[in-house]
Structure 1
Amino acid sequence: MTFEAYEAVVDESGHEARGRERQALSLGIDRLERIQRGPFHIEEQVESLLYVRRLWTIFIEDLSHPENGLPDQLRADIISIGLWVVREADRVRDEKSSDVMQLIEINRLIRDAL
């Protein structure tokens, strides 16, 4: 395999990974929007918030990995956003907040930036 061919495979797999990340974020956004619209069952709210929390936990773990190819500052910024998302999802789930709109907006911003 030539270097150019390898580079194309790496670029393509990165593109596919971003597509999967966009898709996962879109699903989380859809779930959060259902909560925002209401009415909903408490189980649906908990499942939706746990989905978003797990998704961001996976992102944070990936970004923390030394082999992650993003620049250090960008990784740190996205990790900070992810930690906020996790905390805010927990606050909504624990009924310390009822505003899901901020979660929806930040997830849209990140999804659209991919």
Structure 2
Amino acid sequence: MSNAAAQAYARVAQATSSPRDTEAQALLMAANKLQAVMTNPDATFEQASAALVFNRKLWTIFLTEAQRDENPQPLDVRQNIANIAVFVLSQTAALQISLQREHFRPLIDINRNIAAGLCGRP
């Protein structure tokens, strides 16, 4: 597939995706970035940092959205999202200070499990 065709496909897919699908895809993208760093012994500090920053930004968005009064989700769902976000953000910050690749696994698992739930997969 040509680059132009791939970009056109991506625009159409994004325009027709539900918010849940978009969130799931972002979580999977973050998980894949973290996985790539975790499994590559030659990954640089810059690559690890970029993956962690992407994950941090994503979860900051989720936390901010969960705290909005206008969020249509029930309060208990919003609180659960906020609690998970606080955990993910604290783990991400710890990894940015002391890069231990084996500790990427919980973040990868959380992102993938939530993405699967958003897509309706067990």
Short-chain TM bin: 0.7 to 0.9
1:16 CA displacement: 1.0
TM-score by length of 1: 0.83
1:24 CA displacement: 0.6
Aligned to 1:28: 30
Match of 1:113 among 90, 110, 117: 117
CA displacement, residues 9-60 of structure 1 (integer Å, 9 cap, x when unaligned):
xxxx9x6111110111111011010111022011000010000000000011
Q: Does 1:62 align with 2:65?
A: yes
State percent identity of aligned pairs.
29
Q: Tell me, in whole angstroms, the C-alpha distance in 1 between the residues paired with 2:83 and 2:100.
A: 20
Q: Which segments of structure 1 move beyond 3 Å, counting only runs of 4 or more?
A: none
Aligned to 1:46: 49
- The alignment yields a C-alpha RMSD, in angstroms, of 1.6
8 Å Cα contact 1:91/1:97 also seen in 2: no
Aligned to 1:102: 106
Flag structure 2 segments of 5+ consecutive residues without an equivalent: 1-14
Q: Tell me, in whole angstroms, the C-alpha distance in 1 between the residues paired with 2:100 and 2:86.
A: 16
TM-score by length of 2: 0.78
Q: 1:47 to 1:96 in 2, by over 3 A?
A: closer
CA displacement, residues 61-87 of structure 1 (integer Å, 9 cap, x when unaligned):
111111111110111011100110011
Aligned to 1:6: none
Q: Tell me, in whole angstroms, the C-alpha distance in 2 between the residues paired with 1:102 and 1:36.
A: 11
Flag structure 1 segments of 5+ consecutive residues without an equivalent: 1-12
